[in-house]
Amino acid sequence: CILCGNCVDGCPQDAIRFSFSAGK
């Protein structure tokens, strides 16, 4: 997850959207 602030490889897209939405 490159878009995620802190997450492991292969994290669900939901987590990516959540982190991206949070502005992290």
What digits encode the pLDDT tens for the residues 1-24?
455 555 565 566 666 666 556 555
- The identity of residue 6, as a single letter, is N
SS3 18: helix
Note the pLDDT of residue 3: 55
pTM of the model: 0.21
- The identity of residue 12, as a single letter, is P
Residue 12: CB atoms within 10 A of its CB come to 10
CA distance 8 to 24: 15
